[in-house]
Amino acid sequence: MKRIMITGCLGQIGSELVDRLRREKGVDNVLATDIRKPEDHRIVKGGKFEVLDVLDEERMYELAKEFEADTMIHLASLLSSVAEDKPQIAWHINMSGLMNALEVARKLDLQFFTPSSIGAFGPETPKVSTPQDTLQRPKTMYGITKVAGELLCDYYHDKFGVDTRGVRFPGLISYDTLPGGGTTDYAVEIYYEALKAGKYVCPLGEDTAMDMMYMPDAINAIIKLMEIPEDRLVHRNAFNISAMSFTPKDILASIQQEMPEFTMTYEVNPKLQGIADSWPDSLDCDAAAKEWDFKPEYGLEEMTKDMLVKLKAKLF
């Protein structure tokens, strides 16, 4: 990873990944792209930035070639909840966008990363300690695009020799950029509402367990996986990773440790509940630990403490 082009940079992962890579690899070695260009955004102002619709393969190719990229990190995608509202558009963006990015990687011989998700599993998958290699029959359009994406990335490696790598991200929690349209978004919103309103209405039932991870661990995971020597990898697309598994009741209790006055009520959203119920409760991450030393640092307690401090500084 010396000259890195990233799509979907203004999203939840992209904005923090760009900051980190600009710091570590040099501002001029990172090309940030997104479909929109808010002129006063720090990602737009702070280094190389180009407008790119990932459905435009020709422009993606020209930008990567001109920049002399050696790595493509493809993040642009619709998340699970919004993809259920617009399944046809989600298929188009998630699949054609990925195919375009893989084609650019093949033509220019780029190392390639794209995230998969816990959404790549379905209701028939073992729910607890979900194995790395197991049944994947998701029932959401998001999940279908993620499984197809995993297969496509493996295909580009096996058929064309593209160095494709990926992880199945759990819900990601961060204070910098809000996620948009995911099923796990509640675990971010809850901290905002705790600080702003002192109360939160949760759209999922109190015992709904899902895998989660704090953003610094997610960024570390991307960088670590991309830098591990290829001969260590048995799997490629995509590795189970997770830092914790919790329910709304658990996160409520962890926030109440810091803010005893915080309260939560429940108004279950059937769409979100249905998606969450079809996903694993907890992943087995042994393959990632063995093949590229994956080891997250934050558990629920440490994350809650850090989130509340950082978010307070941001909001007030």
Can you give the binding site for ligand AKB, defined by CB under 6 A? Answer: 79-80, 117-119, 142, 169-171, 179, 182-184
Least Å distance between CB 20 and ligand AKB? 19
Instruction: Report which secondary-structure segment, H or E, holds 159.
Output: helix 141-160
Q: Which residue is nearest to ligand AKB (CB)?
A: 182
Least Å distance between CB 119 and ligand AKB? 5
Comparing C-alpha atoms, which of 262, 260, 264, 267 is closest to residue 249? 264
Question: If you write DSSP's letter for every residue of 238-271 in order, what string do you get?
Answer: TEE--SEEE-HHHHHHHHHHH-TT-EEEE---HH
Least Å distance between CB 145 and ligand AKB? 11
Q: How far apart are CA 311 and CA 304, in angstroms?
A: 10
142 is catalytic: yes
Q: To 10 degrees, the CA torsion angle through 255, 260, 261, 267?
A: 40
Instruction: Closer to ligand AKB by CB, 120 or 308: give it.
Output: 120
Q: What share of the chain is helix, strand, coil (3-state, %, to 5)?
A: 50, 15, 35
Instruction: Closer to ligand AKB by CB, 149 or 179: give it.
Output: 179
Q: How far apart are CA 52 and CA 59, in angstroms?
A: 7
Instruction: Closer to ligand AKB by CB, 166 or 179: give it.
Output: 179
Structure tokens at 103: 């084609």
Q: How far apart are CA 203 and CA 271, in angstroms?
A: 10
Catalytic position from the list 61, 142, 156, 214: 142
Least Å distance between CB 257 and ligand AKB? 24
Instruction: Closer to ligand AKB by CB, 37 or 127: give it.
Output: 127
Q: Give catalytic residue positions.
A: 142
